Amino acid sequence: MKKKFVNLTLALAAVSGFTACQPQKSAISLEHQGDTLTIVHITKPTKYLILPIQESSTEGKVKLDTGSPADMAMDVRLAVDSIEYYVPFELPQEAKEATVTIGKVGAKAICWDHIQLADTFDTKNTDYYRPVYHHTPSYGWMNDANGLVYKDGEYHLYFQYNPYGSRWGNMHWGHSVSKDLVHWEHLKPAIARDTLGHIFSGSTVIDHNNSAGYGKDAMIAFYTSASDEHGQIQCMAYSTDNGRTYTKYEKNPILTPFDGLKDFRDPKVFWYEPAQKWYMIVSADKNMRFYSSTNLKDWEYLSQFGQGYGVQPNQFECPDFIQLPVDGDPNNKKWVMIVNINPGCPFGGSATEYFVGDFDGKEFKCDTKPEVTKWLDFGKDHYATVCFSNTGDRTIAVPWMSNWQYANVTPIRQYRGANALPRELSLYTKDGQIYMAANAVKETQALRKESRSVDNMDVKDEVVIDEIVPNNEGAYELEMDIVPGNSQLAGLELYNAKGEKSKIYLDLKNKRLVMDRTESGLTAFGEKSEPHAIENHDGRKVNSINYQNDFALGTWAPLSLCEGKTYHLDIFVDKCSVEIFVDGGRIAMTNLIFPTQPYNSLRFYTEGGTAKVENMKIYKLGL
């Protein structure tokens, strides 16, 4: 047995991702038991044990050992032969000593020479591609938005979160709050992974009538616990401090699949007024299942919907179920089922579709045939879209801005994962069909720090604007009307001095809006373009993925969703993303980009005729 003692006296120091700010009389002793288990003994614990990370290493098992059956080992990719960044592992402050056990990491790994103690962890941005105005975690991994709810002037954004690395794992519910959907405050994770499993996606409601017995207006969260041992089961937790902390229901789980189904997750709970009951919709492999309850704890099965509907093949995930007026008429409402699918995106990977229909309190009946697919967004980086509850007449959705084909390998280290802009949803009719629009919420106008107008212009061949905004950080908004006229193609190109560019154009011949990111900047994420294998969010292998071809492509949307002749475009650019909204969100398109310097030039161009650009405004955006 080998023991290694490290005594730390911490002064002002910065070491690649953490800062220790005051002297400490604390010590670590490392006790290597064989080659795969190390006991870390800590006297006078500081707030954090700082762990060095190497993303290519296998996952070690890191556990704060208190002797309780509830102690949970976290999966952490500790550095074996190189260090990429650091993450904090919280220690108990009230204890005189702490013990952390670390398994599946060799005794000769480089991490043992660099593991540290500290009272602070520096989250100052170190990533070039961190967005200026989109929500991201301060560090670590983020995917699906969870538990979106509005209460007492705050929007609560919970999200799938790994605090121990910038790749998927250790699912917690991270937590941020906002008063305006634009400025976000990061709070401590609200629900942590436990012995029942990872804390997968779900929803939160305000229990106005004290149905669950935890007090009037308690916040009740529903989530999936996922593990190999227990499968995917639905659980509940409650909060009486405005969502800052949650207590897990002592009788969890509240719902398990009656047929042993493996993929059974992401509960969305809502109040159904006609029945005076709570309803839950849960993704069940390639279906959605409905349940009802009077007390939020005991659930009765009602029906299921979805087999064979929408794009095929698919895996249903992250459902939502909302009622909206058609064309703004409060006397004509329809139910909409939002279904996030993986795979199934027309451009590869994950995407969001929806179904419009009627609900009688037991069954949902779709207005269209099973083979009809309606997309909520026509980009490649829009997924896990769910809506806030308790927002009155407004229906506000938040997507995750990435794609499972490459989410784990984007060229980012300090964090991975961002939310696209919140969108307000509405229904409109076109050619006898009902569609859902998704437009950027009006609150985004608060991001506008500077603006300038551009004179109306006739475009034949090309018109260039050399400088989009001064001191450009890659964060701006372009708003304009494009009248294609007699041109067969009318568009714009965002580009930088290195020749990296993204094209957005109206293809009138094929009646499409197109965004082309094939030359947008980094498109292979530092990898060669041969196939690689990665794991997706539930640990399953996704083989033969060619990152370059999966990313370097164009996405398109049918212009038939719009009225035609004139198209109003609202384009949001932010460091590593472009979001396009046409005609109030009748078309929404969300795509990541990774230019190596900001786009600060703009070229309008046409083919086969002359187009007009009118009412153009350029806004510099910031928080």
Alpha-carbon Rg for the chain, nearest whole angstrom, is 25
Cα–Cα dist 108/95, whole Å: 30
φ, ψ at 17 (rounded to 5°): 120, -10
Residue 197 has what DSSP assignment?
Answer: B
DSSP β-ladder status, 415-416 and 140-151: parallel
The answer to whether 441 and 423 have CB atoms below 8 angstroms apart is yes
Cα–Cα dist 21/13, whole Å: 7
The answer to whether 343 and 313 have CB atoms below 8 angstroms apart is yes
From residue 281, alpha-carbon distances to 222, 247, 365, 423, 475 in Å are 11, 23, 14, 22, 38
- Cα angle value 525/527/532 (rounded, 5°): 115
Amino acid, res. 580? I
Classified as helix, coil or strand, 298 is coil
* Residue ranges of E strands in 522-586: 532-535, 541-545, 554-558, 567-574, 577-582
Classified as helix, coil or strand, 41 is strand
Burial 53-72 (b: 16+ CB within 10 A, else e): bbbebebbbbebeeeeeeeb
Residue matched to tokens 């910031």: 622
φ, ψ at 446 (rounded to 5°): -70, -15
The answer to whether 156 and 147 have CB atoms below 8 angstroms apart is yes
The answer to whether 575 and 419 have CB atoms below 8 angstroms apart is no
Task: For residue 485, give both structure tokens.
Answer: 């006229």
Cα–Cα dist 20/161, whole Å: 24
The answer to whether 566 and 483 have CB atoms below 8 angstroms apart is yes
Classified as helix, coil or strand, 412 is coil
Q: Is cis: bond before 313, omega within 30 of 0?
A: yes
144 flagged as catalytic: yes
Please count the residues of the chain. Answer: 623
Considering the candidates 71, 81, 119, 144, report the single residue annotated as catalytic: 144
Amino acid, res. 43? T
Amino acid, res. 31? E
Active site residues: 144
